[in-house]
Structure 1
Amino acid sequence: MNRLLYPLIASALITIVPFLLTFEKGQDIVRGLFGFEEFALLLLFVYVKNKLTKISFANKKEVPAFAGMTIVLGIVVAALFAVAWLDLQNLLAIKGWATGWYGVLPFVTCGLAVAMMWKVKPFSISAISFILFVALIAHLFAYNHYAAQPLAQFPVVDYMSRTAPKPVARDSLPESFKAKYFTTDSATITRGFIDSTRTNVLVLVESWGIPLDSNRFAGQLQIFDGIPMPAHGAHHRMYSRTRTAEREDLIYSVTRDSTGRRDTVFLPQVLRAQGVKTQFIYGGDSLVQMRNKYIRNVGFEETFFGISANSGVESRTDRESAALLDSLLGSAAAVSFGDSALRFIAWTTLDTKFPLPCFKDPYRIDVAAVDSVYTERLAGTLQLVADLAKRHPDVRFIVQGDHNPILSPLKFQEKFYKRWVPFVVLN
């Protein structure tokens, strides 16, 4: 029993003494009862010391083995001091204190621990492995039930976690961004900014997310300089899917009946009932994600899809879709008999869809090259929208990203906030 109790007490001595000597009234620091890594090293120390004592220094053939085991024993003791030092530094870092006289604590506690273990009988390597496994499982089990008081402390793991580079938080926008731009969690941007007295165009820009670099976003907005901009900013998507965005942005109201059944009314349905002509433009295949079905269901009476991808012909580019949109807006301006003057047109762009056409091999992708091509294509699409807004100043344009570039290479995805997309209202 002493073989197990002594290393537990010694490891507790190493990790608890610095904690108690740096304790301040009112502090709330979760601390383990013993150091797991110190416990493992102390068990190993006893095993190596026992092997060393069994080697006869007088026998010349055993001199290399004696020297080797002495070196191993020295490494174990040095590792014990190093772990105790890291444990102390973790405590001081929490408080922001300098090492000062606390630097002697690892040497004192480790010296006492080694002295305590000097007469302890060793376990075999297999027994040590089993003891450590049981100790780890016991710690995890107890921590899962009562996290306020863990059984073990892991100084090396804590040190690595504390000193490792911290990735930029991508789930929420920084306060500096919120102070400069309008931000909302609401998915009612289209409903909130639509103008029922004139023609409205909703543009969903493929893979347009909010970049971590705020200057990059500011540069994108500069494309719309000279155009009346009633509102611009960012809003949060619940799901990062184009098909979800195409429906989410068009929701007018959601109600539930007495049975709990959900009934969703979409903007195109409401506008169509008011005599507004509703049209949808997408340059890709209508069968992808069954877009041909759900677009009709949300209330679009006329759709303009590109060539089917199965035909081997390239999909319609954003420039070609913009030309089609321009002609539809032109025909709306020149009202003919039987045609409504007002229209609601939704256009989902395609040029920035991942994977980009020039990067087909997922195993050989240069992120810098992807960034360059994406930036160029996105700027081209936004410029097409800006040109349309200038050409049709009487038309309200609501421009949004459908989602951040979720299908791009991982390193490129990390340049954008998760599920935050821009929106710009023009005219």
Structure 2
Amino acid sequence: MEKSQKINLAIFLAFIVFTIPLSYIMGSDFMGKQEKPWHMQGAVHEDSLSQEYLHKYKILDKVPVTLQVERSKEKRVLILIDAWGVPFDEQKLAKEFAIFKDVPHEYAIHKRLKNVTAHAEKVEFRTDSLDSLIVVDMLERIEPLLMIPGYKTMALTIHGSKYGSEEILQNILKEIAKLIKKFPDVQFIVQGAHRPILGTPKTRRQYYAHWVPVVIGNF
């Protein structure tokens, strides 16, 4: 082996000998500087509701909402909203709920273990009579269908808020509140699908992992 190669090998071995033990000594400090994955941050409390939430709102367990809410009208509209979760900030949810203050309502928080919205109507809503249920693809199409006596249950999933935009979410909630007010003889169940999982990690960390808001309108 040439002299230069031996020198390079010796330098490499010395680097290995001195740096590996040092990494064990400094390991905790070094790793402590790395940001933990978002789903590990606040893992202790991200699924435990605050006392304010527990005392202020009706709490629904993981059973589908339609099985926990009694039908109060002949017609029922079920609306699942993408990326509407329960934030750690209680005032933020209170502001969203307040959009429905002018219609007869009940507020609740539901434990929904799924973090997806695709085909959610089949999972969440088809506990109603299948003979009288229709799945709608746009909010605007519900109103004319409410005029038809044949449909007793309508289900809709709204995807416009999937990226966690607060402005878009509030506009959607306002449109739904108007619809509820316009049809007082129809029961509405409006619930979130999951927290904003497509938003930034910072946004996701502001929400509980498996809790979503529920508004029961014209109950």
So what's the TM-score if we normalise by structure 1? 0.41
CA separation of 1:348/1:130 partners in 2, compared to 1, >3 Å: closer, same or farther? closer
In 2, Cα distance between equivalents of 1:347 and 1:404: 18
Is 1:396 the counterpart of 2:205 in the alignment?
A: no
1:78-108 Cα deviation digits (max 9, x unpaired): xxxxxxxxxxxxxxxxxxxxxxxxxxxxxxx
Gaps of 5+ in 2: 1-12
The structure whose RCO (Cα within 8 Å, separation 6+) is larger is: 2
Q: CA deviation at 1:125?
A: 5.7
SS in structure 2 at match of 1:247? helix
Match for residue 189 of structure 1 among 44, 49, 65: 65
1:336-361 Cα deviation digits (max 9, x unpaired): xxxx3x5100011132133xxxxxxx
Match for residue 28 of structure 2 among 157, 160, 164: 157
Is 1:423 the counterpart of 2:214 in the alignment?
A: yes
So what's the TM-score if we normalise by structure 2? 0.76
CA separation of 1:419/1:385 partners in 2, compared to 1, >3 Å: closer, same or farther? same
- Contact 2:57–2:109 (CA under 8 A) maintained in structure 1: yes
Larger radius of gyration: 1
Paired position in structure 1 for 2:5: none
Paired position in structure 2 for 1:216: 92
In 1, Cα distance between equivalents of 2:64 and 2:160: 25
Which amino acid letter does the alignment assign opposite residue 236 of structure 1? K
Q: CA deviation at 1:176?
A: 2.5
Paired position in structure 2 for 1:246: 121
Gaps of 5+ in 1: 1-123, 137-153, 253-266, 284-320, 333-339, 355-370
Tell me the number of residue pairs that the alignment of Structure 1 and Structure 2 aligns.
197
CA separation of 1:214/1:132 partners in 2, compared to 1, >3 Å: closer, same or farther? same
Question: Which structure shows the bigger proportion of residues in strand conformation?
Answer: 2
Q: CA deviation at 1:219?
A: 0.3
CA separation of 1:381/1:157 partners in 2, compared to 1, >3 Å: closer, same or farther? same
In 2, Cα distance between equivalents of 1:414 and 1:236: 17
Question: Which structure shows the bigger proportion of residues in helix conformation?
Answer: 1
Percentage of identical aligned residues: 29
In 2, Cα distance between equivalents of 1:131 and 1:379: 53
Which stretch of the first structure deviates more once superposed, 193-202 or 167-176? 167-176
Paired position in structure 2 for 1:406: 197
1:156-200 Cα deviation digits (max 9, x unpaired): 838x96xx9x95432322222212222233232112224175100
- Contact 2:121–2:135 (CA under 8 A) maintained in structure 1: no
Is 1:282 the counterpart of 2:137 in the alignment?
A: yes
- Contact 2:82–2:162 (CA under 8 A) maintained in structure 1: yes
Which amino acid letter does the alignment assign opposite residue 179 of structure 2? L
- Contact 1:208–1:422 (CA under 8 A) maintained in structure 2: yes
